[in-house]
Amino acid sequence: MPNILPTAFYNRPPEIVARELLGKIIVRKLEHQIVRGRIVETEGYLARGDEAAHGFGGKTKRNASLYKDAGHAYVHGMRQYFLLDIVTEEIGVPSSVLIRAVEPLQGIEYMKALRGIDVVEHLASGPGKFCIAFEINKELDGIDITNSRAPLYIEGESDSDPSLRIEKSGRIGISRAKDFPLRFWIKGNPYVSR
């Protein structure tokens, strides 16, 4: 039986969830395919005082999913790409964790076809690339990812893995509040972005 991360796992501060999501397995169930990967890089976005967070300017139609309960997906468009956040903390608190990079484990040929490249290290080594490889789009915006019926969920033990070597830094790819030390990744992992 898969051990799907429950609401309680996500109902914590984003800096904690971002760190704890490293090493977990993200699963995408498609019509005729299951795609799986190991989360190797994340970024936290705070509900308060974080100018880079999408909830900073208040609730709008675009970021409405951010205000849902912990464990919901927030998918938004960035130029030609989609990006996936997982909502953290309580209902109404717009904090989240961005999935920045994933190590492909299953459905690799499928991912190669979607991405149009053969280099496994580059299939999901960035938030936009990951969403292409896992076929994540606006249809998944706002869904609850804490149960096995969902087309997207994350598996793993709720307690952290002490053997993981984790590094952190300021966030990348943004202009405001970039110095917040909320980017986490697995040290030395070849599937991390940049």
Partner DNA sequence: CACCAGATCCTCT
Partner DNA sequence: GAGGATCTGGTGG
The residue among 27 and 133 lying less far from DNA, judged by its C-beta, is 133
Provide, rounded to whole angstroms, the least separation between the CB of residue 38 and DNA.
17
The residue among 62 and 165 lying less far from DNA, judged by its C-beta, is 62
Return d(Cα 192, Cα 102) in angstroms, integer.
7
| 78 lies in the binding site for DNA (CB under 7 A) | yes
Structure letter (DSSP) for residue 102: E
Return d(Cα 50, Cα 137) in angstroms, integer.
25
Contact 186, 41 (CB under 8 A): yes
| 13 lies in the binding site for DNA (CB under 7 A) | no
Site string for DNA, 91-130 (x = CB under 7 A): -----x-x----------------x-x----x---xxxxx
If DSSP codes are grouped into helix, strand and coil, which group holds residue 14? helix
| 172 lies in the binding site for DNA (CB under 7 A) | yes
With contacts defined by CB under 7 A, name the span among 26-34, 52-60, 105-113, 160-168 that binds DNA. Answer: 52-60
Distances in whole angstroms, Cα of residue 20 to Cα of each of 43, 66, 129, 140: 11, 19, 22, 23
Query: What is the size of the binding site for DNA (CB under 7 A)?
Result: 36
Site string for DNA, 128-167 (x = CB under 7 A): xxx-------------------------------------
Distances in whole angstroms, Cα of residue 26 to Cα of each of 45, 94, 190: 20, 22, 18
Provide, rounded to whole angstroms, the least separation between the CB of residue 157 and DNA.
25
The residue among 108 and 174 lying less far from DNA, judged by its C-beta, is 174
| 179 lies in the binding site for DNA (CB under 7 A) | no
Return d(Cα 172, Cα 154) in angstroms, integer.
24
> Which of 31, 79, 109, 149 touches DNA (CB under 7 A)?
79
**DSSP-assigned beta bridge partners for residue 87:** 96
Question: How far, in whole angstroms, is CA 47 from its chain's centroid?
Answer: 17
The token pair that represents 36 in the structure block: 């799986």
**DSSP-assigned beta bridge partners for residue 33:** 30
- Contact positions vs DNA (CB under 7 A): 43, 45, 52-54, 57-58, 60-63, 74, 77-81, 83, 85, 96, 98, 115, 117, 122, 126-130, 171-176, 193
